[in-house]
Amino acid sequence: MNVDVILGLQWGDEGKGKIVDVFTPEYDVIARFQGGPNAGHTIEFENKKFILHTIPSGIFHRNTMNVIGNGVIIDPFILLKEIQKLRESGLAPEENLLISKRAHLILPSHRLLDAAYESAKGKSKIGSTLKGIGPTYTDKAGRNGLRIGNLLQHDFRIKYNQLKESHLSLLSALQFDTSGCLLDGLTFNAYENSWFDSIDLLKGFTIIDSENYLNKSLDEGKSILAEGAQGAMLDVDFGSYPFVTSSNTISAGVCAGLGISPHRIGKIFGVFKAYCTRVGSGPFPTELTDGVGDNLRNMGHEFGSTTGRPRRCGWLDLPALKYSIMLNGVDSLIMMKADVLSSFEKVSICCHYQENGKNLENYPFDLSNESTVPVYDELEGWDDPLRNITSVDMIPGELKTYIDYIENALKLPVEIISVGPDRTHTLLRNRL
Ligand code: GDP
Ligand code: IMO
Ligand code: MG
């Protein structure tokens, strides 16, 4: 068997969580391969709504195993909160959740460093979720990090203190006032105490060599779906650097983040919204800073799942999608939130970028270059809320034209159309 992959093609929040949940009954294992609690994946069913940050989105299906892979970084405090919420809803996540020994730990002091680096950047800040992502991946690459497996060793506390002290020296060099910095509403000391309490509880979970488990599962003929976090345009190598996250969000990240050979990658599903959003700073060529953008935000409830920040909104950006598709090797497309465009009389699509009146062949190195301008085609909108549509045959003609336009431009089928946040608001089309 192979590992299929679901990932975001834009700047995150495309609706990956919903689609992973919809696909889960078809898989034995769901595995997250990168990112950390900067992610917020929303799943809605039976009038319930869950937002997952670290736990894979297959957790609601008891017969499917969920793996937090080695490429993920974990804040025990946040993970435990997620687990408690699931338990309050009658779920028993310890029964179908496995955690990689090699996943790195986000220490409370990583979060302080994140805040300090952002504050030092002033106006050019990244707009980080402040979950400690950058500093934790920095320590991983710098070979200073601590991993879940270290929790099981007798000298964990010594190693923790060493790393924390090195962070405190850095913070002091940055002249960052840690006393005024709250972590999820808690002082550093209170957060650190809860963090250690969470660790004690986490030790009761199944902590494994996930690379062995996953490869063995494949050998036994089990099916695996890898769940991406963030989106290709936030990839540390290919996103709008430096306004990116600190991991490889693209399909190549699956191999390193799970310990899977490239030979074993199967079908790659690319998830995109019918328009674009971005939360945090950085270039966004099709951003609408006018009332149209406000309408998109209001109609789409575009507020961050992790931080609650308003998301910046704009029209669909085909050059960015083409670039993402190339980087990921996408086999088929999944279009989300078509219903949000329902009330628009006209909808625009950016078909290419121009510089000095010439169409750009390739995606530009520096998107903030002001001479790079998006060029749009305008299409008719569809005046149908779509929520009662249960099959693709019922799709209004204008939406069909919109999808045909996208398929022609991207040369890939749109296999699924999502028309609402619930599991059931999902239309299957051109199933390959
Ligand atoms: P993720 O990070 O990619 O999993 O996406 P988020 O959960 O951060 O953001 C997607 C948001 O859109 C969530 O609030 C979902 O409940 C919601 N959503 C997903 N699909 C649809 C859809 O087709 N229509 C509408 N209106 N909302 C959707
Ligand atoms: P999901 O998985 C949207 C953005 C942040 C910021 C930049 C760097 O829900 O799609 P970081 O905290 O990683 O240092 O932030 O990346 N960002 C996301 N935007 N969805 C996400 O995850 C994101 N994770 C990080 O807003 O601009
Ligand atoms: Mg999200």
Asked whether the predicted pLDDT for residue 368 surpasses 80, the reply is no
Q: Where are the beta strands (DSSP E) in 71-219?
A: 73-74, 97-100, 104-105, 206-208
Asked whether the predicted pLDDT for residue 163 surpasses 80, the reply is yes
Residue nearest to atom 14 of ligand 1 (CA): 42
Other CB atoms within a 10 A radius of the CB of residue 165 amount to 11
If you count DSSP H runs as helices and E runs as strands, how many of each does the chain have, helices first?
Answer: 11, 20
Q: Where are the beta strands (DSSP E) in 46-181?
A: 48-52, 65-68, 73-74, 97-100, 104-105
Asked whether the predicted pLDDT for residue 202 surpasses 60, the reply is yes
Q: Return the DSSP state at 338.
A: G
Asked whether the predicted pLDDT for residue 243 surpasses 80, the reply is yes
Q: pLDDT grade, residue 430 (50/70/90)? A: low
Token pair belonging to 23: 């696909």
Distance of CA 202 to the CA centre of its chain: 23
Asked whether the predicted pLDDT for residue 207 surpasses 50, the reply is yes
pLDDT (tens digit per residue) in 335-350: 999 999 998 999 999 9
pLDDT (tens digit per residue) in 27-48: 999 999 999 999 999 999 999 9
Q: Give distance in angstroms: CA of 320 to centre of ligand 1.
A: 20
How far lies 419's CA from each of 229, 335, 384, in Å? Answer: 21, 9, 11
Interacting residues of 35 by C-beta distance below 8 A, sequence separation 6+: 72, 73, 133, 228, 229, 230, 245, 247, 249
User: Residue 259: what pLDDT?
Assistant: 98
CB 275 within 8 A of CB 337: yes
pLDDT (tens digit per residue) in 310-338: 999 999 999 999 999 999 999 999 999 99
Residue 155 among the catalytic residues: no
Token pair belonging to 413: 């089928």
Q: Which residues line ligand 1 (CB under 6 A)?
A: 8, 12-18, 39-42, 44, 301, 305, 336-337, 339-340, 418-421, 425
Q: Which atom of ligand 2 is nearest to the CA of 279?
A: 26
CA–CA dist 423, 58 (Å, integer): 12
Q: pLDDT grade, residue 1 (50/70/90)? A: confident
CA–CA dist 130, 147 (Å, integer): 20
